[in-house]
Chain A
Amino acid sequence: MPYLVVARVFEKLAKTTKRLEKIDIMACLFRSVILLRPTELLAVVYLCCNQIAPPYVGLELGVGDQVIMKSLGESTGRSLNDIKSDFTKAGDLGVVAVASRSRQCTIFAPRMLTVQSVFSTLISVANSEGKQSMTQKVRLIQSLFVASRETEAKFIVRHLQGKLRIGVNEQTVLAALGRACAFTPPAKVPPVVDMSKELMNSEQMEELECHNTALIKKAVCELPNYELVIPALVRYGIDHLNEHCHISPECNTIVYVCVLCKMIYFKQGVPIKVMLAKPTKGIAEILERFKSMKFTLEFKYDGERAQIHILSDGTVKIFSRNAENATAKFPDLVNSIRKVKCNCKKKKKSHLKPDITSAIIDSEVVAYDRKEHKILPFQQLTTRKRKDVNEADVTVQVCVYAFDLLFINGQSLLSEPFEVRRSKMHQAFEPKQGEFAFAHYKDTTDPEEIQQFLDLAVEACCEGIMVKTLDIDATYEPAKRSRKWLKCKKDYLDGVGDTLDLVVMGAFHGTGKRTGTYGTYLLGCCNSENDNFQSLCKCATGFSDEQLKELTDVMKNHVVGKKPSEYETHMDCPIWFEPKIVWEIKCADLTISPVHCGGVGVVHESKGIGLRFPRLVRKRDDKSVDDATSTDQVIEMFQNQKHMQ
């Protein structure tokens, strides 16, 4: 299948801002693929999401502009300086790439780009490493440029940069897939368009679409790996998708070979997207929301989210909040869980009772002082090395606080209520002080006791408390920020509800004492609808002098020459950064601002939401810009605030 087909669709998608239109355009593409080239659906979906591998594999593109410009120079015979000056003018390498369609003729026209060839070249680019990697990358990218037609080069550049900028996020792609499956159901033999569906009215059709989308989303949440989900969809059809793609700590029970890159993911646990909690402001709000329901309180430990997979062959895998593989970061933790496995056989004391073969635990890993037996602040945990950690060198000990059990002995617990999941967890594991513990909890509805519990949590060096439904409406919902889980942080109780995780967009040079550093930063939230970043505030407080210097040094590496086109703001910063870094920010309240653009068009036709009195809480190296607070969340916070007044 020619890549040009996909590139033309991208071009069309970029021209509209209407979500429904985008879904329709993409659904048409998917329908054709399902009908004509079902085996290539995977590559097409990957290209649309601009992914090349499941997130937990850690294979990413993000090729630097320098490499792209070099490849462009080599393939068109233009000098690097010419390309650079064009780039400064246009501000978008993709546009430069198309405009650079060279004046140099070719001897023989290169073979046309296909979806498969583009995809596998992208994978090779991502995989190239070592001292020759630069030349290797340039050569691979060059081969794509040489063969590109029309606007193909533009989207190749964007694939490489890791930002497609066609205003499409993964959710849109899945919705389009759901729509495509409604009109052209895959796995029908012979593969013809189901004409009987034409008899349905549009309402029924819409319902079917939503139903399909939900099925696909469910599969992707439980098994966030398109290489498993899409082939299953093509092979078994939408109605049987969930029978074949469901939660499992052992992917090797599902036997699909990745046809595209022949990489082997078997024997590797597949992380489930974690369930998230909604912020609340106080006890009154909690009681209001859970009026007649049974609920429980839990300590909210201040550490890193960890999804621990225990596979039946004894392998232990740990995944972060973003479903990235963090196993290498916690060898001590892996070992203590593995030790447990050995101990089981000897019937010694262990966290794992002997009849456990496989399990998935949701937990928080916190820094722990094993001598004093107390939890250490989050900052201690961040001092641990992130890669190639050697167990002998670990200075900051950690303890796991397990709070949920998603899977045990081959059986998914996702649809069980929390009360059942929790009791199964308590039955299955045995805590060990300083290494493995259960999250401290209390079942109560008395406001007084909730307050006491919250104080207790704060005293125990926790962030606050979690409030969860126990029996009614208490299933585990991957990837959802659901009302079933509420979080109440200690700092919510004053000022605005939650802190915000904002993207660092730009900076102003410091003056006076701050000369030589960036004195003020421009921060913003992530708008997934438009696929851009909207500024929320200028922040100049909350950092110490050392921190100011440290942050400057870090941010210097992310400076770009020109305001990135995906930034929406009326501020004009002398320094702009690429969207890479996320900081946690606290503010007094939210207001309508003439210069900031949070949720512009929603709360006010031309003005956006801005933060008042923002201050830096801490860096969030564990969050990527896609995990930054979204515009929708900002709007919700703003509206909640209005209610309170």
Chain B
Amino acid sequence: MFQREFWMEIGESLWRHKLRSALTAFSVFWGMLMLVLLLGSGNGLRRGVEFQFKDDAINSIWIWPGTTSMPWRGLPTGRDMRFRNAEVKHLQRTEPLVDKLTARYHLRGTFAVSRGDQSTTFRVRSVHPDHRFLENTVMLHGRFINPVDLEQTRKVCAIGTEVRDFFFAPPAKGQQDFGPPPIPQPGVWTAADSAAMGRYLTVKGVPYQIVGIFHDQGSRGENQYIYLPISTAQKIEGGTDRVDQIMFTFGNASLAESREVEARLREDFARRLKFDPDDQQAIYISNDLEEFKRFQGLFNGIEAFVWVIGILSLIAGMIGIANIMLITVNERTREIGVRKALGATNGSLVRLILLEAIVLTALSGFMGMALGVGTLWLVDTQVLPPIPEPDSMFMHPGVTPGVVVGALSILIGSGALAGFIPAIKAVRIAPAVAMKSA
């Protein structure tokens, strides 16, 4: 039944009807190509975003004090919560998953940052040394705030590139136009860098020596910050031990673990600050990992969308094949009649028609698949950098083999099915009638 002769007859028939074969082949080829590229790109997008979140210390938790909204053991609602150094120390001591930990304390009131007769309002944060891991701060020169600064309450600061440029490479004196951010090049000294390092900036009347210049690739605003040691800032603000915000990262943790940490924090803080553990407004906890998972949800949504488009293009391909099969069988009615007159059995004719369709769809579909997979591979290995760019949103495009083979099978199956019914009908026509058709 599947002997060589039969396959040669099929090959010959396909070859002799070049245009018809080419049209069918192209529609299947194109459908598969598009499907593979679409699904592959969707995957690349998802992987890119996952990578983004991994790179940016996704496993971080940020905590702010709020105001109680529930009474607790005789204490009224509406109490403002306050964090102190004690909370930071306690977290450091008790939370096993803590990796990098920092607090922030903001200088109170409005104030200017000045140098000589230049003065403007830059943003100031006083922090712990680990802060740079949470904000992805890249030091260009010098160093960030260090533990010794904290211990000795040194009056030092690390400044962003825009602060540097304002004071040490002003476009025109007194003008607050910063221009486009310069491309950061660690180790390369510009005139502004040389001018800035070791000099002093006055914040709220106190001079701080510049010990480091940093660049933050995140947002532009980050380069307008001045960082101070938190202990120094607290001392200058009248020896307060308040902190405004605590944030920390933890090592590789599952979403479940990070939720556990969150729950543990809430209980811990509730006990220490005396509020109802169920009071969601007493303190605010933001869990990056949770946000990441939400993003993942978004990208699952995108993937679903890609799938819908993929399935629609698959259906378009199926309709294309079905249509061509119908036309083909109609066109071949006369041929079917002639072959029957010469002794062809109905079964052999149905097989001929179907296998022609199957061979054609399989070959062209496979070629579309191969080109698609090859293109994705080329993009992955040749076009995209081997080490992904930090802001890359597109990584390792690719498709699951099972999915693509499944799609191809569906195409082949629909081609065969679409040919089957008209083929059965056509071979049942009496040869005399079939031969009369055009």
Real complex partners, A and B?
no
